[in-house]
Structure 1
């Protein structure tokens, strides 16, 4: 049975290493959100760096998730001191469990304050697609599909929760 891959990407207003209260608030809340998401029904896995430290994304060992890459339009730093982004890559049993995890609980509360932390870029902040059972999506897959979504809109190849598709490619009227 196929699984849902979900990639999220946002450009932070300040680098993760910035000691400012707003950046600290995002980071602290992020840790709690990760813990809750990891316990959500339908959650399978997320990309985690084997040797990652706070703010170290580029050059970290991501194992089967591949090399960490970002969309071409990201123009901020790439070092631990200058990285100003938040990205996730996860696997889910289906569309509804992923949607429920994103739009309920602590993550929903975080979404309500996202404009305090993230720049408005004019680019989509997430993309989903179906992968074969046993397949691990890569960071490059996520970036390619996010850019495809931006350039072409939702399609079976790259879609949003609002304009989503079933594993067989059929459009799901009304979203998930």
Structure 2
């Protein structure tokens, strides 16, 4: 029998401007709103946060311009619903307004239920994906199968944007 597991998600974003720059205001002013909404969603398990209530003040790759985000979800569908079908999707669609786009910026992996990954673990998984490509250890959206019940939120959104 398989051990119960959850989906860990780590992503980074390199800001184009300092967080106190007026061009970042819309993004910065909505971080808490989006995080609080995520915290209440079915399927949300956990997110890394500092005393600020978010992870934007945590440093990765020794670069203050890179913002990390690390979350755990019960399953793929819950994460996809948050990313593509909530207010988060409006910010996701406009991410190029605030962020440069290094590739890849996101990594996913399965964790035992109850495990809370560290920032270092997220960085190691992303580095592994960049160096070796997708595997069971580290993968991206493209490695996930469609939901058993039909199209995932990710696939539905892609077809809506193509229309």
Preserved contact between residue 12 and residue 86 of structure 1 (Cα < 8 Å): yes
Determine which of 100, 104, 111 is the counterpart of 1:119.
100
Determine which of 6, 9, 13 is the counterpart of 1:10.
13
Determine which of 118, 134, 146 is the counterpart of 2:114.
134
- Which structure carries more helix by proportion? 2
Q: Secondary structure at the match of 1:156?
A: coil
Q: What's the CA shift for 1:106?
A: 0.9
Preserved contact between residue 44 and residue 79 of structure 2 (Cα < 8 Å): yes
CA RMSD, 1 decimal: 2.4
For residue 160 of structure 1, what is the aligned residue in structure 2?
140
Q: Deviations over 1:93-138 (max 9, x none)?
A: 11111111111121110011100100122x2121110111221111
For residue 75 of structure 2, what is the aligned residue in structure 1?
94
TM-score (norm. length: structure 2): 0.79
Give the Cα separation in 2 of the matches to 1:90 and 1:56: 16
Q: Secondary structure at the match of 2:138?
A: coil
> Structure 2 regions of 5+ residues with no counterpart?
153-163
Preserved contact between residue 15 and residue 85 of structure 1 (Cα < 8 Å): no
Preserved contact between residue 46 and residue 90 of structure 1 (Cα < 8 Å): yes
